[in-house]
Chains A and B, each alone.
Chain A
């Protein structure tokens, strides 16, 4: 009886391990983060690289799916060197004080066209709740996550109100993953 109990615990532990570290975990192969903001009526495009994330996702187990992703604003690139330099300073991302942007999902639900992730985003010391609609596409052991969302930059102290620069920033994020953990 005691032996069976031990076997049972081992089996449970294995199942749990599988859940945490197993087939529903996705490790990052590559990422892309592109942001767009209207400046004097034209879209300025910028990007950040080196996104890291822990992802556990199964469309059949949404209540147990989650992700935590981090981006480094020091990697931002808009095509104009001095603009990049400025965006890293205190009046925008203030990378010395706030080197990381963090997005952590709190709840993921099915939506009409894919999924909605209810997240907490922490940017420049400000935490806000946002919803990120995303698509999930799986091919065997590979999967892609693709989401788009918008932020009001003024909510996070990114610059000040401007007559030429819009308040809203649109963000496209894409991750190519394979099964496993980082």
Chain B
């Protein structure tokens, strides 16, 4: 009895000490000064406010955050895409024989240690499910149905995790799931604009579930799908149709919307269910001043990357938007610490894990550019780039001026000119993401053009598939058929705005695109 009491009191002391330590100060590890992630004063400065000044956003308190249990990150292993069932069985058996490895069991000593561990955090899933013998067959069916780009040998968006001896789990919802790009030749680029079609897979999954559902369960299914979308996308203060439709939307309609979302874009939580967001390229993030397409969060130092990861790996679902809490069962009562009924909301990354993740993201480098164009063509393209004024916003060497452009329908308040970097003209693209969502700030950030050769689709909702399409004036017409994201139920749609580089000759366009593909 004495021994149990002693153990419990020691454990409580450890928790108390570590909590105080984390709340009060930045973490001093043996070798690193790690910023404090959930520092409300810093968070207040780093978040841009919603477009509606009457709406205030209150994140969970420091006390709540640091009471959340820390995640343990276990070593994960690749999913081999093999048709050889025997080889796969042997591989799975070999994983089952492994002991779970807590990747942070030894404190990192060097910058390289941090980067290596950060890569593990990047690949660490937020959720897992048990591996079963038919997993690979089901995965291959999904790959075919949803046209998932895959590498030659592995499925790089998920991973196997061993967090318990002799048990294999499939890990999903890691950073890598959305930020890994598989190129046409089967090579993968970590941190690039990912091309895992998450929404489409969700759509097919829900459609299959709906097909096999007994009639008496349809209403419940409808309500469940609607509640899910409301959690993910509702901004109750917005009266735009994209928000009001959420009050009555049916499961069938949600499924249709999901199935229309192609690779390279996704319907983000806090965003619009029928207007996806381009998945950002994280390579070069160290030099970006704003994060998110709507510039929702500032990037002043590695602490902001840590904050961004903590929020966007779903703790922002516990934000209170004038009392509306997306991940709360009743949308208004903050769940008890550790009991939130939503993925990613009942635990948190450790400070070291987030710091390592930030270091890894900072270390990302673009792969060798395989494009080779005649130097004269590239030079001519560069001249067109300068002449057409592209350099003003896409300023070398970063090929972004790192500024925010207000969208049509938003006038920046005077105070914003002092607080943020504003390039004060709208390029007249569709403003809905920036105006009618929880992530809406009234701005879009100017994206960097570095690495466009490995990216697609283009535009903040990925409406066009190629640079050629982006510079094609026909996209401004109402009878245009978008080559990238085309909303469900739309046959044609004008892709307005950013009317640069359109009134040039065919030769100049070829040269301009060649130049861009060298960046």
- Which residues of A are interface residues toward B (Cβ below 8 A)? 39-42, 44, 78, 80-83, 85-86, 89-91, 162-165
Chain B residues with CB below 8 A from A85, complex form: 425
- Can you spell out 10 A-B residue pairs with CB atoms less than 8 angstroms apart? A42-B383, A80-B388, A80-B500, A82-B500, A83-B389, A86-B423, A86-B424, A86-B425, A91-B422, A91-B424
Residue in contact with B389 in the complex, picked from A44, A90, A91, A162, CB distance below 8 Å: A44
Q: Decide if B425 touches A163 in the complex (CB within 8 Å).
A: no
Q: Decide if B499 touches A81 in the complex (CB within 8 Å).
A: yes
Known interface pairs A39-B392, A42-B387. Does A82 touch B427 (Cβ–Cβ under 8 Å)? yes
**Nearest chain-B residue to A85 (Cβ)?**
B425
Q: How far is the CA of A39 from the CA of B428 in the complex (A)?
A: 23
0/1 string, B246-270, CB within 8 A of A gives 1 = 0000000000000000000000000
Known interface pairs A39-B386, A82-B499, A82-B500. Does A164 touch B424 (Cβ–Cβ under 8 Å)? no
**7 other contacts beyond A39-B392, A89-B425, with CB at 8 A cut-off?**
A42-B383, A80-B389, A80-B500, A82-B425, A83-B392, A164-B391, A164-B392
Chain A residues with CB below 8 A from B391, complex form: 39-40, 164
Scoring A41, A86, A91 by chain B CB atoms within 10 A of each residue's CB, the highest score goes to A86
Residue in contact with A82 in the complex, picked from B387, B396, B428, CB distance below 8 Å: B428
Chain A residues with CB below 8 A from B428, complex form: 82
Residue in contact with B395 in the complex, picked from A44, A78, A80, A163, CB distance below 8 Å: A163
In the A-B complex, list the 5 residue pairs whose CB atoms are closest, starting with the nearest. A86-B425, A40-B391, A40-B386, A89-B424, A42-B386
**Nearest chain-A residue to B395 (Cβ)?**
A164
- Which residues of B are interface residues toward A (Cβ below 8 A)? 383, 386-389, 391-392, 395-396, 417, 422-425, 427-428, 499-500
Q: Decide if B424 touches A39 in the complex (CB within 8 Å).
A: no
Chain A residues with CB below 8 A from B389, complex form: 39, 44, 78, 80, 83
Chain B residues with CB below 8 A from A82, complex form: 425, 427-428, 499-500
- Chain A nearest CB from B459 CB (Å) reads 16
- Chain B nearest CB from A39 CB (Å) reads 6
Chain B residues with CB below 8 A from A83, complex form: 389, 392
Q: How far is the CA of A162 from the CA of B403 in the complex (A)?
A: 13
Chain A residues with CB below 8 A from B424, complex form: 86, 89-91
Chain B residues with CB below 8 A from A164, complex form: 391-392, 395-396
Q: How far is the CA of A165 from the CA of B424 in the complex (A)?
A: 16
Chain B residues with CB below 8 A from A90, complex form: 417, 424
**Nearest chain-A residue to B406 (Cβ)?**
A89
**Nearest chain-A residue to B387 (Cβ)?**
A42
Q: How far is the CA of A165 from the CA of B389 in the complex (A)?
A: 10
**Nearest chain-B residue to A165 (Cβ)?**
B392
- Chain B nearest CB from A133 CB (Å) reads 30
Q: How far is the CA of A76 from the CA of B89 in the complex (A)?
A: 72
- Chain B nearest CB from A87 CB (Å) reads 9
- Chain A nearest CB from B45 CB (Å) reads 22
Q: How far is the CA of A78 from the CA of B428 in the complex (A)?
A: 18
Chain A residues with CB below 8 A from B423, complex form: 86, 91
Chain B residues with CB below 8 A from A89, complex form: 424-425
- Chain B nearest CB from A181 CB (Å) reads 40
